[in-house]
Amino acid sequence: MSRKSFYITTPIYYPSDRLHIGHAYCTTIADAIARYKRLAGYDVFFLTGSDEHGQKIERKAKEHGVTPIEYVDKIVASFKHLWEKLNISNDDFIRTTETRHKEVVQSIFQKIYDQGDIYKATYEGQYCTPCETFWLERQLVDGKCPDCGRPVELVQEESYFFRLSKYQDRLLQYIEENPDFIQPASRRNEMINFIKSGLEDLCVSRTTFDWGIPVPFDTKHVVYVWFDALVNYITAAGYLHDREKFNKYWPADVHLVGKEIVRFHTIIWPIILMALGIELPKMVYGHGWLVVEGDKMSKSKGNVIDPLALIDEFGADAIRYFLLKEITLGMDGNFSREALINRINADLANDLGNLLHRTLSMIGRFNGGAIEGPGATEPIDLELVALAQNTAAAYEKYMEHMEINAALKEVWGLIGRANKYIDETAPWALAKDAAKKSRLNTVLYNLAEVLRIVSILISPFMPATAPKIWSQLGIEENLGDMRLDDAQRWGRLKAGTRVNKPEPIFPRIEVKADEEPETAATRRPPVAAAPMPAPAEQANEITIDEFAKMDLRVAKVLACEKVPKADKLLKLTVDLGTEQRTIVSGIALHYKPEDLVGKNVVLVANLKPAKIRGIESRGMVLAASNGDKLVLVDAPDMPPGSKVK
């Protein structure tokens, strides 16, 4: 029986420079989904690549005194090196300079021209070379590119045009009838509004430079770089060259792209496919941006993060875990070195690392290194077994909806419960009483079995760490042969398995005090909520207009952790409906971090951002206070983003 296929793609990245952490984020998401689908038994095809043509590349090559192909060859080699270091498991890497792609692009361009959907005219308008994008005058923002904010150039040249306008109504109907086609919903609404404003025919050839695929019937023209690039998804799937492969994998299940290029993938690309009579991809998912300390990455600000440097310092799996756990897919996410180190120490070194080390050490010390079969059971054991099974089921549900950080949260909930199980069952005490040997065997088996399940579940996210845990457990079967079903069934760990000596998988990272210099702002204590005035006092009156200036919103707490070396501070990551924010609040004496996750709070959303202990806090949670007691204001039945009036 043939396996169900699954085809996922990243954008093909533009080799005008080396990749940054935002590119690594997108590719890591796609890799985690591809690995999960393989774990679930799918026949997966995972594609990434490079988009190598265009005026920008031609200019860059000239600046460096090399040919365009020499320039892109060097940059593309750095792409492949990064993906290797990050353990990206792509099945193909497509380059738009390859012959197989050139043949497909020219064949498609000819076909669409022959049927009358491409015609020659004169183009006069604005062009952004960095984005390789045409713009109408009315679309510019302050005379500049609305995407990147850089200057545009007035272009006038003979060009071929693609009749986008002809397909406007058909595309709009398709999007409205297929709500899953564009995700998340906010991106779909943006595209619907864009299409309703009217689609102009698209200029799809250039004559002012040579670095591109020649138009087959008019070689003084080269194909517009976006028309060329988008076609890569069917080139790699076998269109024109491998019909059996194409029928197997097309339509693509997911095109994963940054939100800034959703428009190209949900307007130009589907219309190309409609013109060709080819089925549209099932989903285009526009993920959010990765910002650094609240700022969008840019060379001018000097805050572009090199993923290779991070991998060399912290390891690929730590970076992968942080990107996947810290950020809710679809929303913007914040990257900071401090948050990365906190996540490594708390989740990887403390939670996962300690569970592995404690379990293996006790099996070695109390049972001579052998995992004995379980014996006497108690209700606490059944509770752990049920949680493990429920975790695997919830994990599958979340991953099928691409809610990666929610799936990881489930796994870490199981890890946390297993650590607590050690404290509650006290194996060291059981080992002192020979009459309780059967009970000791049960406890140690259960802990090892949890680690077996955890190894399988984290393998899509941490492909180097999972085999290390598997090996230390001494399991003979190959982890790569395991399927999701093996994590959903309790008791598959064979009695008599001999564990290996525990080795640290994530050493704790110690940060020296002088590595995080404080400023006056970071030393300033945050105000979590205004204290309740005494009944006899009257607060200063304000007008209704003054009150209306406050934007109060419901926000859901996605993650919460203590701020290092600050007893009163918690760092909250909240979902505001349309974005994700970081809030620092002085409520640590009143709430534990785990008590806040999943809770709806009320947020002052338009408060000026402030840096607190090096963390940019963008808002303030509201609370009621009376003396020593403090209670957060909540709105349990309202969705994130709801306005509080």
Number of domains making up the chain: 2
Q: How is residue 344 written in tokens?
A: 């490594």
pLDDT at 531: 33
Mean pLDDT of 298-303: 68
Tell me the pLDDT band of 643, cut-offs 50, 70 and 90: confident
pLDDT of residue 125: 76
pLDDT tens figures, 183-192: 999 999 999 9
Query: pLDDT confidence of 291, banded at 50, 70, 90?
Result: confident
**pLDDT higher than 80, residue 628:** no
203 annotated to a ligand binding site: no
For range 33-37, the mean pLDDT: 99
Would you say residue 22 lies in a domain? no
Least confident of 89-93, 377-381, 552-556: 552-556
Rounded mean pLDDT of 397-414? 98
Asked whether residue 350 falls in the same domain as residue 451, the answer is yes
- Is 348 in the same domain as 444? yes
pLDDT band of residue 547 (cuts 50, 70, 90) is low
CB proximity list for 84: less than 8 A, separation 6 or greater: none
- Distance separating alpha carbons of residues 606 and 149, to the nearest angstrom: 24
Per-residue model confidence (pLDDT) at position 299: 61
Instruction: Convert the pLDDT of each residue in 232-252 to its tens digit.
Output: 999 999 999 999 999 999 999
* DSSP letters spanning 515-584: GS---HHHHSPP--SPPPPPTT--PPP--HHHHHT--EEEEEEEEEEEPTT-TT-EEEEEE-SS-EEEEE
pLDDT score for 533: 35
pLDDT of residue 128: 83
The yes-or-no verdict on residue 524 having pLDDT over 70 is no
The DSSP code for 470 is: H
Please report the pLDDT score of residue 520 as a whole number.
25
* pLDDT > 60? residue 623: yes
Do 467 and 458 meet the contact criterion of CB atoms below 8 Å apart? Answer: no
Q: Would the pLDDT of 529 be above 90? A: no
Same domain, 392 and 526: no
Which pLDDT belongs to residue 542? 63
CATH number at residue 435: 1.10.730.10
C-alpha span between 515 and 52 (Å, rounded) = 40
Q: How far is CA 439 from CA 239, 333, 355, 452, 473, in A?
A: 61, 46, 19, 20, 20
In whole angstroms, how far apart are CA 264 and each of 104, 126, 187, 231? 19, 17, 12, 12
Percent of the chain with pLDDT over 70: 92
Q: Distance between CA atoms of 212 and 38, rounded to whole angstroms? A: 36
Residue 303: pLDDT band (50, 70, 90) is: confident
Residue 296 has pLDDT above 80, yes or no: no
Please choose, from the candidates 297, 317, 343, 321, the residue with its C-alpha nearest in 3D space to the C-alpha of residue 571.
343
Q: Are residues 354 and 463 in the same domain?
A: yes
- Mean pLDDT score, 61-82: 97
Residues 599 and 543 in one domain: yes
Residue 372: inside a domain, yes or no?
yes
- Based on the fold, state whether residues 480 and 621 are members of the same structural domain: no
**Statement: residue 527 has pLDDT above 70:** no
Nearest one of 625, 619, 608, 512 to 574, comparing CA atoms: 619
Share of the chain above pLDDT 90, in %: 72
- The pLDDT assigned to 482 comes to 97
Domain presence at residue 549 = yes
Residue 499 scores a pLDDT above 50:
yes
241 to each of 53, 101, 251, 574, how far by Cα in Å?
22, 10, 16, 48
* Mean local confidence (pLDDT), 72-82: 97
The pLDDT tens digits of the residues spanning 313-324 come to: 999 999 999 999
Q: Are the C-beta atoms of residues 487 and 444 closer than 8 Å to each other?
A: no
Closest CA to 297 of 262, 332, 330: 332
**Confidence class for position 12, pLDDT limits 50, 70, 90:** very high
- Same structural domain, 412 and 478: yes
Last residue of a domain, one of 439, 472, 488: 488
| Range among 118-132, 432-446, 537-551 rated most confident | 432-446
- In sequence order, the β-bridge partners of residue 630 are 625
115 pLDDT higher than 70: yes
The two structure tokens encoding residue 259: 């939100």
pLDDT value of position 526 = 32
128 is in an annotated binding site: yes
- Cβ(547)–Cβ(583) below 8 Å: no
Residue 134 has pLDDT above 90, yes or no: no
Residue 451 belongs to some domain of the structure: yes
- Considering the domain architecture, whether residues 427 and 539 belong to the same structural domain is answered as no
Among the candidates 488, 508, 543, a domain finishes at 488
* 177 lies in some domain: no
- pLDDT, residue 276, reads 98
Q: Is 145 annotated as a binding residue?
A: yes
- 205-206 vs 620-621, strand pairing mode: unpaired
What is the rounded average pLDDT for all residues in the chain?
A: 90
| Confidence category of residue 548, pLDDT binned at 50, 70, 90 | low
What pLDDT score does 517 carry?
34
Does residue 375 share a domain with residue 455? yes
Closest of 147, 151, 155 to residue 264, by C-alpha? 147
Sign of the Cα torsion 537, 540, 543, 546 reads negative
Comparing 20-34, 317-331, 599-613, the range with the smallest average pLDDT is: 599-613
What is the domain extent for residue 345?
336-488
Q: Binding site annotation covers 560?
A: no
Which residues fall within 8 angstroms of residue 303, CB to CB, at 6 or more apart?
292, 293, 295, 297
Q: Average pLDDT in the 178-199 region? A: 95
Q: If you ran DSSP here, which 8-state letter would residue 91 be given?
A: S
* Same domain? 355 vs 451: yes
Mean pLDDT, range 419-431, rounded to an integer:
96
Residue 432 in this model has a pLDDT that exceeds 50: yes
Of 19 and 514, which is predicted with more confidence? 19
Question: Same structural domain for residues 473 and 347?
Answer: yes
In a domain, 417, yes or no: yes
Would you say residue 38 has pLDDT above 70? yes
Q: How far apart are CA 275 and CA 167, in angstroms?
A: 8
Residue 520 lies in a domain: yes
**Of 488, 507, 537, the domain-final residue:** 488
3-state secondary structure at position 229? helix
Q: Are strands 254-258 and 290-292 parallel, antiparallel or unpaired?
A: unpaired
The predicted pLDDT at position 538 comes to: 44
Give the tens place of pLDDT for each residue, 326-368: 999 999 999 999 999 999 999 999 999 999 999 999 999 999 9
Q: Is residue 32 part of a domain?
A: no
Which is more confidently placed, 562 or 484? 484
330 three-class SS: coil
Band of pLDDT at residue 550, cut at 50, 70 and 90:
confident
457 and 585 share a domain? no
Greatest Cα pair distance in the chain: 92
How far is CA 437 from its chain centroid?
46
pLDDT at 523: 28
